[in-house]
Amino acid sequence: MSLAILIITVCLGSSVFADSQSSGRVIKAKWLDTPPIIDGALCDGVWEEAEIADNFYRVEGAHGVPAELGTKAMVLYDESTLYVGVRCDEPNMEALRETQTRRDAPIWRDDTVQVLLDTYHDQRNCYVLAVNTLGTQMDAKISNESNFDQAWDANWEAKVQKNGNHWRTPF
């Protein structure tokens, strides 16, 4: 089973991927003239131009240890939208935790991809976008590290596709 969490700081066309201790790994978001197709496949040619982040670490259990299963993330943007594509390896697809089907349900209990957007770059306030392996979306706003406002809703779309030994999602 897998849990992928990306912490992204959006700042002048670049994104910083970090664990909770801010490791400083950087991936540049790629500018797009044409938006990608959000279909779960990540086969749209624009994703091939994106820089790939694949050096993720565990955030549960043995915190800070390199992740056992591969995860690849890509970030694209245009004038109005940030796009994230993620591929999560999973050799035992039958073991995926996937129970929640209602938007804003507690999907963090399921296998999910969670993106935290630290737009203030203060590591205290962020927006959360999360999707589980069923395509169920959850979004929230976190302020002062502890106020979790799930009433906040973003206008975003996510699709999930499962194939053999991995699942992927663009949003």
Residue 12 has pLDDT above 70, yes or no: no
Evaluate whether 129 touches 117 at the Cβ level (below 8 Å): yes
Q: Among 10-19, 20-29, 82-91, 124-133, which stretch is predicted with the lowest mean pLDDT?
A: 10-19
Phi, psi of 69 (to 5 degrees): -105, 145
Residue 40 has pLDDT above 60, yes or no: yes
Specify the DSSP class assigned to residue 67. P
- pTM for this model (two decimals): 0.83
DSSP for 68-133, written as a single string: SS-EEEEEEE-SS-EEEEEEEE-S-GGG------STTS-GGGSSEEEEEE-TTSSSS-EEEEEEET
DSSP for 7-56, written as a single string: EEEEETTEEEE--TT---EEEEPEE-SSPPP-SS---SGGGGGS-EE---
Phi, psi of 49 (to 5 degrees): -85, -15
Q: Give bridge partners of residue 84 from the DSSP assignment.
A: 75
SS3 135: coil
Q: Give bridge partners of residue 169 from the DSSP assignment.
A: 86
Q: Using one digit for the tens of pLDDT, what is the confidence trace for 136-161?
A: 999 999 999 889 999 999 999 999 99
Dihedral sign of CA atoms 29, 33, 37, 42 in order: negative
Longest dimension (CA), the chain: 41
For position 24, what pLDDT does the model report? Answer: 54
